[in-house]
């Protein structure tokens, strides 16, 4: 492909990725924003409406903070304890929780790896429609994420996206961003283990 066409294709891919990420962010915020609007409408008649609005506003702040760190620029190093705090109530839409296995809460992830970890946590949580546990653990120099719950299966299209397939929508955009970040940092993204219905392994660059 000529250089000009390559640049044009890359720009189209970047624009599509940005659009899908924006769609995902809007999807995550529309629920709590609707709760705030409904609570404000009820303020005159329901004394509990103000508390409902405050809770929904806190939920919006939590989600915005997560997505700012996971997808935004200028992210700094993040400790394991911060990963837990950022993910609280957000894994699988609040139906699952995150556990650190063999990782100290004070262990610090460099900026790009921190973003990769947050995206990988979210993607692994997508395999738990009925809730459960997402575990983040170290395996040598790699990081492994596994899912445990009543039902463990990625939605159609997400597994393909994690293999580098094109197309999809807001959910698949997270996979595309994870692969992009990993590729630029020299990391690889692969299934956690053969035969598992869901799970991811983040492996660092091979040392020469």
pLDDT of residue 18: 65
- The CATH classification number of 3-203 equals 3.30.565.10
Cβ partners under 8 Å of residue 198, min gap 6: 124, 127, 146, 147, 152, 153, 154, 192
Place 82 in a pLDDT band, splitting at 50, 70 and 90. very high
Whether 167 has a pLDDT exceeding 90, the answer reads no
Question: What pLDDT does 21 receive?
Answer: 67
* pLDDT value of position 26: 65
Looking at every residue in the chain, the average pLDDT score rounds to 83
Q: Which band of pLDDT confidence, cut at 50, 70 and 90, is reported for residue 195?
A: confident
Measured between alpha carbons, how far is 63 from 72 in angstroms, rounded to an integer? 13
Evaluate whether 122 touches 70 at the Cβ level (below 8 Å): yes
> Which of these, 115, 46, 113, lies nearest to 87 by C-alpha position?
115
Partners of residue 149 on adjacent β-strands: 132
Question: Is pLDDT at 62 greater than 80 in this prediction?
Answer: yes
- Chain segment 111-125, per-residue pLDDT in tens: 999 999 999 999 999
Band of residue 135 on the pLDDT scale cut at 50, 70, 90: very high
pLDDT in tens, 96-111: 999 999 999 999 999 9
- 6-10, 25-29, 42-46, 110-114: range with highest mean pLDDT: 110-114
Mean pLDDT of all residues in 36-44: 69
Residue % of the chain over a pLDDT of 90: 44
Q: Which of 72-76, 104-108, 167-171 has the lowest mean pLDDT?
A: 167-171
Domain locations along the chain: 3-203
pLDDT in tens, 136-156: 999 999 999 999 999 999 888
Under 8 Å CB-to-CB from 207, ≥6 apart: which residues?
Answer: none
């Amino acid at each position: 492909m000529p250089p000009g066409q390559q640049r044009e294709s890359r720009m189209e891919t970047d624009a599509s990725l940005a659009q899908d990420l924006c769609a995902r962010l809007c999807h995550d915020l529309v629920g709590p924003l609707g709760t705030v609007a409904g609570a404000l409408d009820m303020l005159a008649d329901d004394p509990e409406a103000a508390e409902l609005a405050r809770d929904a506003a806190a939920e919006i702040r939590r989600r915005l903070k997560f997505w700012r760190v996971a997808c935004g620029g200028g992210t700094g190093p993040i400790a394991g304890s911060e990963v837990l705090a950022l993910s609280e109530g957000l894994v699988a839409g609040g139906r699952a929780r995150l556990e650190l296995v063999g990782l100290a809460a004070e262990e610090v992830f460099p900026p790009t790896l921190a973003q990769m970890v947050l995206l990988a946590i979210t993607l692994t949580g997508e395999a738990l429609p009925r809730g459960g546990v997402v575990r983040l653990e170290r395996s040598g120099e790699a990081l492994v994420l596994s899912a445990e719950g009543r039902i463990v299966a990625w939605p159609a299209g997400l597994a393909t996206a994690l293999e580098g397939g094109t197309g999809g929508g807001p959910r698949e955009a997270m996979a595309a961003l994870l692969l992009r970040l990993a590729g630029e940092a020299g990391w690889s993204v692969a299934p956690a283990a053969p035969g598992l219905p869901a799970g991811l392994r983040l492996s660092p660059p091979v040392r020469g």
